[in-house]
Amino acid sequence: MYDILIERHRAQAYLDALPEKSRRIVREHILRLKEDPYPGHRGDKERLVIDGYEMYRLHVGRSYTVFYRIDEEAHVVKVLDIMTLEEAHKRYGRL
């Protein structure tokens, strides 16, 4: 079981600004990372290397993307950013 930490200034602010239904859905997906944050049989998680840093991407439906890192030693998943798929493609390209 992993603890979830949401980056306060970017990710939490974005999450708080979402409409209630979207906020609930994104939060439910993030909480599922507690059990298994690594990519596996479901295609909604992917390992990425961006600017030399390892991170992971979680697709939430066809609307949002959650970027996170895993600290295996501390058993912590740190949510770094949340954005729409369109925003993710503009910022990082189509990874």
Interval 7-48: pLDDT, tens: 888 899 999 999 999 999 999 999 999 999 999 877 789 999
Q: How much is the pLDDT for 64?
A: 96
State the sign of the Cα–Cα–Cα–Cα dihedral 40, 71, 83, 60: positive
Residue pair 62/47 in contact by the 8 Å Cβ criterion:
no
* Domain chopping of the chain, boundaries: 3-92
Could you name the CATH architecture of 3-92?
A: 2-Layer Sandwich (3.30)
Alpha helices in the chain, H assignment, sequence order: 13-17, 20-32, 85-92
State the pTM of this model.
Answer: 0.90
Residue with tokens 């239904």: 21
Residue pair 88/62 in contact by the 8 Å Cβ criterion:
no
Q: How much is the pLDDT for 31?
A: 95
